[in-house]
Chains A and B, each alone.
Chain A
Amino acid sequence: MTDQKLFEGIARKDDRAFQYVYQHYRQQIFHMVQQNSGNAEDAMDIFQEGLIALWSNIQTNRFELKDSARISTYLHTLCRNIWISRLRKKKPTQEVDGQINLAAREDTAAAIEQYEQTAALRKLLGQLKDSCRTLLQLFYYHGLSLALIAQRLDITEKTAKNNKYRCMQRLRTISKDTDL
């Protein structure tokens, strides 16, 4: 698969693109995590989080395919920096820097910042009621129309629209309360 096809597939959240990445690029990422204080579960989690960071950077135009930009290299750098960030949350900075052979690369600093902000918001989603989470997921992730969501949840379309607004506002209040 060419990088262009892969780029387009990841942007669409296409299973096939993720499968390709898993088959071709996971090993070096797993190795990097497991050689630096992580276990197999950490490695899989970092691989998945790296894919999410890559996807979100494609969505926000922070990552574009150019001659010098390879998806495999970029993904590896993202995973590496996410892993460093996670280790630093667990241990003092000096200990992490001294213990492991990892140096954060600056070329993804903005991308990681974006990822961290999104990750913090993702955590807050857990504080919403189930009904809110379901509605937001059906609309933003599944891409269903309000009419279909209304049918599904046995409410009117207008109620679906108002509830979606309320759920988003609730999320906003929670994020303000937590200083995000």
Chain B
Amino acid sequence: MNADFFAQMEAYLDGQLSRAELEAGARAAGINNVDAELAWLRQTRLAVEAEGLKQQLQQQFPSTGKREARVRSIWPRWAAAAAAVLVLAVAGWWWAHRSSVPELYAEYEFVDPGIPVLMSDTQDYELQNALSFYSEERYDEAIIRLEALRSDTPGNDTLIYYLGASYLYTGQTAAAAPLLENIADTDNSAFAQRAQWLRVLLALREKDREAAGKRAHTIADTPGHLFTREAQQLQEDLSTQ
């Protein structure tokens, strides 16, 4: 096979070339079994896309296995008393070395790598291009492109969410806040829960413990929230500082 016939097969699979044209190309390239070649290409394209989809799903649904729930056991009283002494000693050390809020930001940071595809209502090429910059963590370039598109599609939740996230990741919290706010309060947006968590991170980044705690509390109290576990853990961390 050569590059030209390969391109012809792609065009055929994409509906841009007829079977007769493909077979003519196959004869020219000396290919005998066109169907086998097509089957291989279909399968390979599917695998590349499936791998991309796996990454998309892993980011959309963070693994619950990363943070295991703390296990509590019931100890006899003497053990509890001994443990209390130990806890006091450890607490004293820990108070002196406790995590600061910025450290909590780093600990809880969720970098949403972006969905490189495909809006439900539109296949907007420019938006797709902007999001692919985002996926590569080239946030400054993503911001330029997303801002350029914003006036044309003011209600697009995908655009607003990723623009807000880009601002957050580049430390521009004032610009990020209203955008994330907008999406976090939009119940029917697929990005609402992630935006809610990013608002928590935004508060941590701004060293606003109170706002971070309040927002984490709301998430922790929402059944089935994507970030319930993280929010509960953060609440504990904030309350012990």
Contact = CB atoms under 8 A, between A and B. Distances in A.
A128 to B, nearest CB: 10
Contacts of A152: 132
B46 A59 contact: yes
A96 B191 CA distance: 39
A48 B7 contact: no
Contacts of B58: 48
Interface stretch (A14-22, A77-85, A87-95, A101-109): A14-22
Contacts of B129: 144, 148
A142 B56 CA distance: 11
A131 interface: no
A150 interface: no
Interface in A68-83: none
A44 B65 contact: yes
Interface string A1-25: 0000000010011111111001100
Interface stretch (B24-32, B88-96, B110-118, B195-203): B110-118
Given A56-B46, A121-B44, A140-B48, A13 B120 contact: no
Contact of A12 (B42, B118, B135): B118
A17 B115 CA distance: 13
A39 B3 contact: no
B171 interface: no
A60 B132 contact: no
A15 B42 CA distance: 24
Nearest to B69: A40
A120 B53 CA distance: 15
A117 B46 CA distance: 10
A41 interface: yes
Interface in A19-35: 19, 22-23
B190 interface: yes
A14 B120 contact: yes
Interface string B193-225: 000000000000000000000000000000010
19 contacts: A12-B120, A14-B119, A14-B120, A18-B57, A19-B190, A22-B61, A44-B64, A48-B61, A51-B53, A59-B49, A125-B48, A138-B132, A140-B45, A141-B49, A141-B52, A142-B128, A142-B135, A143-B117, A144-B128
Interface of B: 1, 3, 6-7, 40-54, 56-58, 60-61, 63-65, 115-120, 128-129, 132, 135, 158, 190-191, 224
Which 7 residue pairs across A and B have the least CB separation, nearest first?
A: A41-B65, A141-B52, A121-B47, A16-B190, A142-B116, A48-B57, A165-B3
Interface of A: 9, 12-19, 22-23, 39-41, 43-45, 47-49, 51-52, 55-56, 59-60, 117-119, 121-122, 124-125, 136-138, 140-144, 148, 152, 161-162, 165, 168-169, 171-172
